[in-house]
Every structure is written in C-alpha cells, then in structure tokens.
Amino acid sequence: MADEEENIEDTEYLEEEEGNEEEQEAEDEGKEAEEVEEAVDANMSALKEVQDKSFDEVRLPTDIVAEAQTVWQTFIGSSSSREAAGEAIYAALFDSAPSLQSLFKTPRSVMAMRFMNGLNSIIGVLGNSKELKITVETLGFQHLDLEVTVPRVVIFRDAIIDLFDMEMGSRFTSKAKLGFGAMLNYVGGAYIYIRREYAVRIKIINTSWKTANNKAADLMDQEDDEMAADLEAKEAEEGEEGEDGKQDKDDAMGAAEGKDLAQTSGEAGKSNDMRVPTTFNEMFLFNAAVMGFGSSTWMQLILDQFDNMVMNVANSYRLQEECDVLSLVLSKYKGNINLGEFKAVMLASLRSLVPKDWNSDHEVAWSWLWENVERMLKNLLGKPAVQERALERLIMSLTEDAVNYLRREVYKRFFALAPAGQDYFKQSTTRLYWIADKIVEMTLEIYRDPKKMVEDISALGLRHVGYAIPTEFFAPFVSGAVEVVRSMTTDDNAEDAFRWSLTLISKILVRTILEGSTIVMKAINTNNEKSLRKAISVAPRGKRSLELLNITVGTQSISPFYWAIESGSLVTAEAMIKDLLVIRADRDNYYYGCDDLFIRHPDVVQHLNQAAAGLLPTLFDGLVWRSRVAVNGQRRVNYYVKHLIQDTEGNFNEALEWLVDGNDPKIICHPVVVIFADLLWNRLASRFFLTGRCYYLCTLLVFITSQSILPHLNQGAETEMTRIVTFACRACIYVGSMGALLRAQVLSLRKDIKEGNFSQLGCLKIPEYLTHLSDITSLWLLLALVLMCSIEPIFWCMGSGADLFTSNCSATEATKEAYVTISMMAMFLYWGLLLDLTILSMRISAFFLVCGSVISELLLFLGGLAFLIIAFASSISVLNHTQAEFQGIPKGALSLMEIALGMFPTEQFESMQEEPTMLMAVSLFIIISLVFLLNLLVAQLNGAYQAIYDDMFGYARLTRGRVIVTTIRAIGAKRWKRFLQSLKLDEPMEFNEGDIGLAGGIQETEPSNANPTTVDMIKRFGGSTSPALQWPEEEGAADDDDDKFDRLEKVILRATKKMEGSKGGSKSGAGASSMGQSGASGGLRDRGKVPFEQLVFFVNFEQAGCFVTAKHSQAFPVPCFSKGSPDLIPEMTCSDGG
C-alpha cells in the first residue's frame, strides 16, 4: 500500500510538473508573440522616416503587407501591359523631380522596365524579412554609382505614393499607403548605407580583378570607366581616412608577409626559367605549387567558378547561387578541404599581379569577399552527399500510383497558389505530366552532375525568355511541389534535398530569364514592328546589331532573331533583317550589320529557306546598295556577297546549295543571287565544267567513229586499216569511257552509303545520287557498255581463225543484232549526257526545261491515242468486212496508227465506201483522234507553257546552280584561294566619288532607269560619333498618325486625372489608369466637360501646323477627334469666347 501511495504521489507530482511546463511554454510563446509585435511596431514607427544608419532585417505587419501587395497587383492589372505600368512610374518620377532629371541617362524604355522589375521584386518578398533584405542589398549594390541621399529618397517616395494615390483612388487605402512609405524608406536608407559602407570595397575588387586578368576595357565602356575612375579616387581618399583599427593593422601585416611570399615565388620562377604567369589562374596555380598545395586539386574546382563569384560580388543572390553550385561540385571531391589555404594562395597571387596598386584597402576588400564566400560554403559542405542519397531513395521508391499522384498534385497546388498560372500552361495533360517528370529528374541530376545541369538549366531558362513567362510563378510552383513531396514522405532529409535542389533550379531559371529578358525579346513577343523599332532604338550604335543577334547568360546564348522566326513572329523578324542591313553612318564610321549577321548565323540562308522562305527577298534586298547619283546614264551598285561566296574560314559557302535545294525559281533570280552565282560560273566553274564535258564529247566522237562511220566506209567492205581503227576506238570506249563511268558510280555509291543518303522510291530505298537525271543516264550508259563489251563481235571472232579484228564471222551471227541495238541505245545515252551543255546559255537551257516540263502533256496525249487505237481495232475486228488492212486486232491497230500519223494510203479509203459500217467506225476514229484529241494536245501544251514561262529562267538557273556546286567542290584549295584573291572582297568599295565605304562586296554599274533611286540608301547622322551613343531618331519616324493621336490623348487624360485628383481624388470605379485607357481606346470619341482650374493646357499638333492654348477657370469642351482625318483639327471654343 505504501508503494502504491508513493506511486500516486509521484504521478501527481509529474502531472503538476507537466502542467507547469505547459503553462511556462504558453507564457514564453505569449512573450515571444508580444516581442514580435513590439518589434513590428518598432519597425513601422522607425520606417516613417528614412533610416540610413543601419541595415537590418525588418518585419512589417501582415495586414499592411497584404494590402500593399494587393494594390500593386491591381495597379499592374489596370495597366494595358507591364511596360505601360513601368512607363507610368518613370513619368511620375521624371516629372515630379526636375532636379533629378539629369540622373536619368538610361533610355526611357529600359529605365521604365528597371523601375517595374525592381519594385515588383521588392514587393513580392515584402512579407519575408530575410528575402527582403537580400533583394534590397542586391539592388543597392547595383546603385553604387548613384549618389543616393535622404532628400532624393523622399522625392522618390512621394512621387510613387502620389502616382498610386492618383491612379488607384480610394483603392489606395491608408494601410497600403503606410506600407509603401515604409518600404520605400527602408529601401532608400539601405541604398545609402550600402553605398557608404561597401562601395569602395566592391570597386577595388572589380578594378584589381580586371588588372589581374589583363581584361581590356570594352570599347563601349571607355567613357564610363573614366568617370568611374574619378569617382573611385575620391571615395578611396575618404575610405582611407575612415579605415583605421586593429583589423587593418593585421591585414597590413598579412600583406607584408604576402609580398615576401610573392617575391619568393617570383624568384623561384626566374631561377627555373619558367614563363611568367600573366593571368590570375596561371599565377594561382604557380603559387599553389610553390606553397606546397599542388596536390590540392579541389582548388581548381573553386578556381573554375571564382571569376563568376568575383564578377558578381555586388549581387548577393548570384553569389549565393554560385556558392550553392560550388558546394555541389566540391561534394564530389574525395579528400580534405581547407578553405583557408585557398585564401592564402589567392591573396599571394593578387599581390603579384597588382603590385603597383596593392595596399591595405585591397587586403581588406579581398579578405571581406573571401570571408563571405567561405561562410556560405561552410554552411553547405557535407550536406549535398547526404541529401543526394536521401532524394535518390525517395525517387526510386515511388510506385506508379505515387508518381501519378505527384504529377496531378503539383499542378493542382500550383494553380491554387497562383491561379493566373493556368493561363500559361496550355499544353495537354500528358505534356504537363512529362514536364513534372523532368523536374523531378532534374532535382536529382543536379546533385549527380552539377556543372552539366547548370548549363542545361541555363539553356532552358533562355528558351523561357521567349515564352514570356513571369518569374513570379516560379516561387509558388516550388512551394506547391515541396508540399506534395512533404505529403509523400516522412524522411526530412529527402524533403530538404528536394526543396533545396528545386529552389536552386528555380533561382538559376529566374536569373537566366531576367538577364535574358531584354526589351528586344519583349518586343518580339508582341510581333509588332513598331515595338521592335522602339526597343532597338535605345541600343548603342556600336552594339545595335548584337542586341538583335545575341543574348548571352553565362555560357549559354540565344539569338533573338532566330527566336522570332521559330516563334512565328515573322513581322518582327523581317523588321530585324531590315534594321540589320541598313547602312548607317556618322562622320567617322559606317555601321552595317551584314558581317555580324553572317558571323553569328553562318547558316542564315538555310534557316530562312527552311523556316521562313518569305524573308529571303528581304535579306537579299539588304545586301544591295544603289547610288542615288547617275553618271552618263549609269548607276553604281554594290552587292555585298562576300558571305554568300565564302564562309568564315574562307571555304566555299553552301548558300548556293541551300538555295538550289529550296527549288524556288523566283528567289534564284534575285539580283544578288544572280550576281554571285554568275561570278562563280564565269570566273571559275565554267572552265572546269567544260573541261569535264569535253572528255564526254571526245568519247562521243570516238564512239560515233567506231559505230556509225567506219562500218559504212568502202560500201561496208572491211579493210585492214578499218578493222585496226575500229578496234582501237572500241578499246578506248571500253577502257576509258566505261572505266571512268564505273569509277564515278562507285565513288557516288560509296559516299551515299557512308553518309546514309538514301531516297524512298516506292517500297525501295535507292542511293540519293540516283535521283539526278545525269547520274541515272550515266548508270544506264555504263550498263549498256558492259553488255556491249560482253558480246563485242571483235572479241568473239578472235578465236575463230578469221581476219584480225574482224567483226564478221559465224560466231557473231546470233548476237550481232542485239549488239547493234544496244549500241544504238548507248549512242542515245551519250547524246543525252551532253544535254548538260545547254546551261552554257540560259535561253537554250530554259527552252530545254520547258520541253521537259510539257512532255507530260504529250505522254497523256499518246496514252489517250493508244487507248483509242486498241479500242477501235478490237471493235472493227468484230465486223464482217473485206478490208485486209483491218483483219485482226494487230493489223487493225497498225492501220489506225498509220491513220493517226498520216501514213495510211489514201486509196484504201475508196474501198471502204462499199462498207458503210466500216467507214463510219474509221471516220469516228479520225474525228476523235485527229480533230478532238490533237487540238486538245495543242491547248494543253499552250497552257503548260504559259504556266511555266515566268519561271523557266529560274529553273534554268537552278540547274546551273547544281552544276556550279558540284563543280566547285571538285576544285582544289589553291585555285579557290586564287579566285578569292582576285575578287578583292576585303578591299573597301566607293559609294560615291571620294567616299570610301565598306568592304565585302562587288561593285557593278547598271542603267539609271533600271532601278530608279531618289533617296540616299545610307542613313547619315551628324553630332557625336561615339559608338556608345544611340542613333538619333530618324526623320519621319515619329510622324505616324496613330502616334500623334495617342500622344494627344495621353496629355488630355493625364490632365484630367490631375484635375480630378486636386478636387479630392478620383471617383472609385472610374475605370482603368491612364495607361490602360490610352492603350485600349482608339481615340477620343466621347464628348465631355473637363474642368480647368489654374491649368495651362498646351497641345502641339505637328501635321496640321497649329497650336492650341487654353487658360481659364471655366469648363472646356473636349472635341471628338477622328484618326481617319489627321489633317482636320476640330475647332476648340471656350465658354468665355477666348
């Protein structure tokens, strides 16, 4: 009993203790909640002003964050596009702060998108204090070159809040206003803090890294670098005064030791007579070997990514991403890793490469960089291997039902988190399931082969640039996928592994999309020429063509031009070709994108031929320059055909072959194609072609001599000389001609078999070379000569005791008839091979091709005639008649054929008069065959000729093009180089007298009335000639009638908004914002009264040449404008008669 009482007491004691613990935990949680609330309140009170003394994580109230994010999404949704929203923000900032307008140096469209993307990224993570700090820090590093001050932050903040107050009206609640104010104060203070604390360090790292790697300054950045250098010098002086302390002394001592070590390394290098390292990588490996770390191969793994880390030191997100990837790479290393050793070698190498500029500031800056990298790496080392095994176990354990559940739930939860994402997933369910499978596969593969996967993910991200998918959807997709995996496993390591790898993948994708989402790519997605012109107009003139041809993110690149073609945006693709191939000039340089286009895309002709053949004329038109000035009735014309004749390595370009394969008779007759094809033919290919055909011609003459001339000499009597000459001729045919034909056939067959070139003919596959008429003819001729050789009479008579080389003996009587028949067929085939000579003249070649094209009509006629002959012959044979010529079907068919050919004797018709039935049958045959069918043949031939007449020269040029390609491929490299040298394609050509222009073409003259040109095809501009500047706006480029009305409408709507705002705010539900209205409406079609109070309203309508100014306090009637009549300005009247 005593024991039971003790147990009961113990139980009661434990229960009391547990209750006390629960009460204590509840009290602790309440205290923590109170502390969080107090911290939030403290943050909100502090962020009522700009805080630039510190930069810490801040937590804003949940309701305020939600309200601010809702207002932001509503603002974007009310705009016609994200670009329009960015333009509104830009206009608000630009107009509200005239004193800051000098800072707006970046083109308007680019700057507007930067404002838009920056605010969107900040507001998107406003509820996550950690992510918010990283995002703001990254943006702050990007603003180091701007002098951000508290007054400027206030101006920026007030302008944004005023914009939302005016645009959103009552929807911009007090909580949203409070949230936006706190956010902008926090961001502005962070920019000031970061610039003050880190600007000098980051600029020191960037400049010294450039020096250490001998990186030449880019032509386009020279002027910016000079300005940055001046700013850096001033800031460095300020930084030196404030950087005192124990840490700097220690770093200085380390610098001295490092210098001694570097000197030792240099002496060792000299003593061994080694090549002096000139780049950081070379110096690092050299110092590592000297310092005894040569066996630490893990250093090479870090070295491979170190450049990316240094170049992105101001980008916290990118630096973290590089460290994440590096941790995966290092996890594959088997051995010990001491990151401190890398720092020692790094500093020693930098001291050696930057000896003149190196000081204690450099030591501090580089130590700070490596400490950040080392801290991030240490947090990750050891984890990837464990996570990889856990994730692999999870994926391998999934059943088919589990996989299907994963596929379904990923999208179900994603659409629940981001309903707007449904608009971007338009593929079938099976395709979406395949995408889900690939995502799961990628999460594991990035552990197994991180370097390869980073390349693949970057390439995938660049493809998503063209899909115009907002990056905001990646976060909810990751969250949804992680939730699904959490519900499928209890292994925390597997869940963490999946979350970490998928987050890393999404980071890489988002970064790639953001870096690759240029304004050119956005314009391509609209497929609007006007948008593309506006987007590319802001590019520096020295890089304008590259903006259209290349977007590079890391080691991956994408061509906006090719993407426009592949996505079907052919309108923008055509506009890009025109922009690339316009010659622009200032006083110093000519700018022409032809070289950039063909260097970036050597296969552009093939790509257009296959995917967008309609753009080929635009491409070739851009390769022609015609002078506006005619001299003596002749006009200069420059054809820039260098890249159509030779490739980048100086070999024969395949452009002509691609055009021939396209089989378009119109594009092959384009002047540019005619010029370079005739150039190749006349100066190079024709001689080699004639040389080859002369061989066949000589062979034909020998064959004619042996088969058709010698047998008929001396009235058919054989003489000894005749027999000898006949034998010699036939031996030449069998050895020379038959041997050459056999060799050519074997080589062609071997090539097609080796390359796998086969064509389908019914159910059979034949070598591709047999699809060409000349090759088929050669094959039949070879077979004919083989048969002739096998039954050659001279060979058969040699053992019969007859005269030497005779062909008349008893042994040949059985085969002689077959021999002469085959010989006749071979004669036809020889003549057929010589038909290639018709390409020497385009008219003859065109005539021959026309004959070949209409021969099908003749075959149809002969088929119909044969049917009639057989039908009537069999019918007439049924009759009881006395006509011997029609007795039986064979005789009747022969007689009817003679009638059709006009060979039937006329006297035979008189005997038919005695047999009326017979006469009627024959008469009916004559009417159908000779009257109807023959005239129908004439009509068909005429119609076929008319159809092919316009293209017959094109088909003739296609035939010649095939011969040119085949011939030039057989020409030696030396002769080809001599041909290129004779063209002088690298010498600049004159545009007009004394105006030395561009190289890479052929100059010709043409009659001045052939292609009248009244406008200079070169767009010339004055002003500064710096390649870093954009081209001035072209005259007439902004004179579009729609643009005038849109600008006028925007001015009126903006004035209306300001008026309504000054009277107490716009009415709720009044409609979309000014951008949305101007984007959606086609003009001002509704009359209304706009109150003007102390407002000067100024409208400049350029085309009409008039100005309207109004200033009064009464109502001003807004007229109704019509875009259809831009010349007419409606009368504007005021109530006071002004």
pLDDT given for residue 99 in this prediction: 67
Amino acid at 318: R
Residue 620 pLDDT level (bands cut at 50, 70, 90): very high
pLDDT in tens, 582-607: 999 998 899 999 999 999 999 999 99
Amino acid at 765: K
Whether residue 254 has pLDDT greater than 80: no
pLDDT in tens, 147-158: 788 888 888 888
pLDDT given for residue 447 in this prediction: 92
| Degrees to nearest 5, angle at CA 833 with 830 and 837 | 125
When pLDDT is averaged across residues 131-144 and rounded to a whole number, the result is: 77
Residue 390 pLDDT level (bands cut at 50, 70, 90): very high
| Alpha carbons 971 and 685: distance in angstroms, whole number | 9
Whether residue 265 has pLDDT greater than 60: no
Q: Which pairs with CB-CB distance under 8 Å and at least 24 residues apart come from 817-820?
A: 818/791, 819/788, 819/791, 819/792, 819/793
| Alpha carbons 1136 and 856: distance in angstroms, whole number | 85
Evaluated on CA atoms 324, 330, 336, 338, the torsion sign reads negative
Those residues whose C-beta lies under 8 Å from the C-beta of residue 737, and which sit 6 or more positions away, are: 699, 703, 785
> 3-state SS string over 426-480?
CCCHHHHHHHHHHHHHHHHHHHHCHHHHHHHHHHHHHHHHHHCCCHHHHHHHHHH
Structure token digits, residue 1129: 């300005």
Q: What is the DSSP letter of 628?
A: E
What is the maximum span of the chain, computed from C-alpha positions, in angstroms?
153
Mean per-residue pLDDT over the chain, rounded: 79
pLDDT in tens, 1008-1053: 888 888 888 899 988 888 888 888 877 655 555 556 666 677 678 7
pLDDT in tens, 36-62: 455 556 666 777 788 777 888 888 888
pLDDT in tens, 2-23: 454 545 555 554 455 555 555 5
pLDDT in tens, 805-839: 888 887 778 888 899 899 999 999 988 888 888 88
pLDDT given for residue 1103 in this prediction: 38
| Strand 1002-1007 to 556-558 pairing | unpaired
pLDDT given for residue 1080 in this prediction: 37
When pLDDT is averaged across residues 1112-1132 and rounded to a whole number, the result is: 40
| Alpha carbons 497 and 387: distance in angstroms, whole number | 5
Q: What is the pTM of this model?
A: 0.67
Return the residue matching tokens 């002739």: 788
pLDDT given for residue 438 in this prediction: 92
Whether residue 865 has pLDDT greater than 70: yes
Question: 1106 has which bridge partners?
Answer: 1101
| Alpha carbons 772 and 774: distance in angstroms, whole number | 6
The helix (H) or strand (E) run that includes residue 481 is helix 474-488
* Among the listed residues 697, 775, 703, the one whose alpha carbon sits nearest the alpha carbon of residue 735: 703
pLDDT in tens, 879-933: 888 888 888 888 889 989 988 888 888 877 877 888 888 888 888 999 998 889 9
Count of positions (residues) in the chain: 1138
| Alpha carbons 754 and 752: distance in angstroms, whole number | 5
Structure token digits, residue 618: 């635009």
| Alpha carbons 253 and 251: distance in angstroms, whole number | 5
When pLDDT is averaged across residues 188-200 and rounded to a whole number, the result is: 81
When pLDDT is averaged across residues 175-204 and rounded to a whole number, the result is: 84
Find the range with the poorest average confidence among 455-459, 717-721, 921-925: 717-721
Neighbours of 287 (CB within 10 A): 28
Residue 1079 pLDDT level (bands cut at 50, 70, 90): very low
Question: 758 has which bridge partners?
Answer: 767
CB 141 within 8 A of CB 55: no
| Alpha carbons 666 and 956: distance in angstroms, whole number | 11
Q: What is the DSSP letter of 1026?
A: -
When pLDDT is averaged across residues 101-121 and rounded to a whole number, the result is: 72
* Among the listed residues 549, 613, 535, 614, the one whose alpha carbon sits nearest the alpha carbon of residue 581: 549
Residue 24 pLDDT level (bands cut at 50, 70, 90): low
Percent of the chain as helix, strand, coil, to the nearest 5? 70, 5, 25
pLDDT given for residue 22 in this prediction: 55
Structure token digits, residue 86: 């960015």
